């Protein structure tokens, strides 16, 4: 029982510090900006507008509720890219804190993801407006909460892995940036899954494809994905989080020496 209490207090301290750091970093990123938090929305909104204009040329068979289909895919993948890229050098960028203070390093990674949750909430409010405009069942957005929690576990798991590697590999940011851009085109964000068997096999091993597809099916089309798909992504997300955390715990003791 005592061990459980200690573990609970440790998690509580990590979360409290994570939220404080995330809030501070979120404000700091917008402090000297004229547009403030709207800079977070600029990239997905620009992509949305451009792709929406050429969407008819790309998709010979128009996708039902294509603006909703497109925007939801964009903002989910945008959250994944921004969070994971930010975390690749989170240890090095906080070397001053690591050297001068004794803190739970896990809080640095969690805060690196949480600061983009704030901007994602604003993006979801825009998506809500689109849902109302296209007369969609905006109440189905309630189901996005559990979907996003599973998604968040997956991102955190990837984040713990990347932060551990990034502490040793300085070029990881550039490598991950190239990889995520490639993954962006391999994930059906602005198009439907082509009939190519090779492409379908690649998508099968792409967690982002499944997570975005689950969200679209439930929220936009009021369709429940197969139990197998739901179970698979819950398993992948939990496994990603646990493996990432184990890797991080193994190497975090050397962070103070490396930075």
**pLDDT of 4 over the 70 cut:** no
pLDDT at 1: 63
pLDDT at 40: 65
Could you say which DSSP state residue 137 is in?
A: -
Cα angle vertex 180, ends 223, 190, to 5°? Answer: 40
For residue 146, what are the CA distances in angstroms to 92, 143, 187, 188? Answer: 32, 6, 22, 22
Confidence label for 183 from pLDDT (cuts 50, 70 and 90): very high
**Cβ contact 190:70 at 8 Å:** yes
Lowest-confidence pick of 63-72, 83-92, 127-136: 127-136
Q: Which of 5-9, 107-111, 124-128, 241-245 has the highest mean pLDDT?
A: 241-245
pLDDT at 39: 67
pLDDT at 37: 62
141-155: pLDDT as tens digits: 889 999 999 999 999
How many residues are listed for the chain in this entry? 259
Confidence label for 203 from pLDDT (cuts 50, 70 and 90): confident
pLDDT at 205: 92
**pLDDT of 7 over the 90 cut:** no
Contact residues for 24 (Cβ-Cβ < 8 A; gap 6+): none
pLDDT at 200: 81
pLDDT at 47: 75
pLDDT at 55: 61
Across the chain, mean pLDDT equals: 85
Q: What integer is the mean pLDDT of 78-93? A: 92
Q: What percentage of the chain's residues is helix, strand, coil (to nearest 5)?
A: 80, 0, 20
Closest CA to 252 of 107, 96, 84, 83: 107
26-37: pLDDT as tens digits: 777 666 555 556
Closest CA to 44 of 183, 190, 186: 190
Contact residues for 205 (Cβ-Cβ < 8 A; gap 6+): none
pLDDT at 57: 47
Alpha-carbon distance 73 to 221, whole Å? Answer: 14
**pLDDT of 158 over the 90 cut:** yes
Q: What integer is the mean pLDDT of 48-60? A: 66
Lowest-confidence pick of 2-6, 9-13, 229-233: 2-6
Domain range annotation of the chain: 2-258
């Amino acid at each position: 029982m005592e061990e459980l209490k200690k573990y609970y207090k440790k998690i509580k301290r990590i979360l409290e510090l994570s939220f404080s750091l995330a809030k501070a970093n979120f404000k700091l990123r917008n402090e000297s900006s004229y547009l403030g938090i709207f800079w977070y929305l600029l990239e997905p909104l620009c992509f949305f507008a451009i792709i929406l204009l050429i969407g008819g040329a790309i998709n010979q068979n128009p996708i039902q509720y294509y603006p909703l289909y497109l925007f939801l895919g964009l903002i989910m993948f945008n959250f994944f890219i921004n969070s994971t890229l930010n975390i690749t050098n989170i240890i090095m960028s906080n070397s001053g804190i690591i050297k001068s203070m004794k803190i739970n390093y896990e809080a640095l990674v969690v805060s690196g993801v949480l600061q983009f949750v704030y901007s994602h909430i604003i993006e979801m409010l825009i998506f809500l407006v689109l849902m109302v405009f296209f007369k969609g069942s905006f109440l189905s957005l309630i189901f996005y909460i559990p979907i996003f929690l599973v998604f968040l576990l997956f991102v955190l798991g990837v984040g713990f892995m990347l932060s551990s590697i990034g502490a040793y590999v300085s070029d990881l940011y550039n490598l991950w940036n190239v990889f995520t851009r490639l993954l962006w085109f391999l994930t059906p964000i602005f198009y439907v899954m082509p009939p190519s068997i090779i492409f379908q096999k690649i998508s099968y091993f792409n967690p982002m494809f499944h997570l975005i597809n689950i969200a679209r099916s439930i929220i936009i089309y009021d369709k429940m994905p197969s139990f197998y798909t739901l179970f698979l992504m819950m398993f992948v997300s939990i496994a990603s989080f646990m493996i990432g955390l184990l890797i991080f715990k193994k190497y975090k003791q050397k962070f103070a020496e490396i930075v």
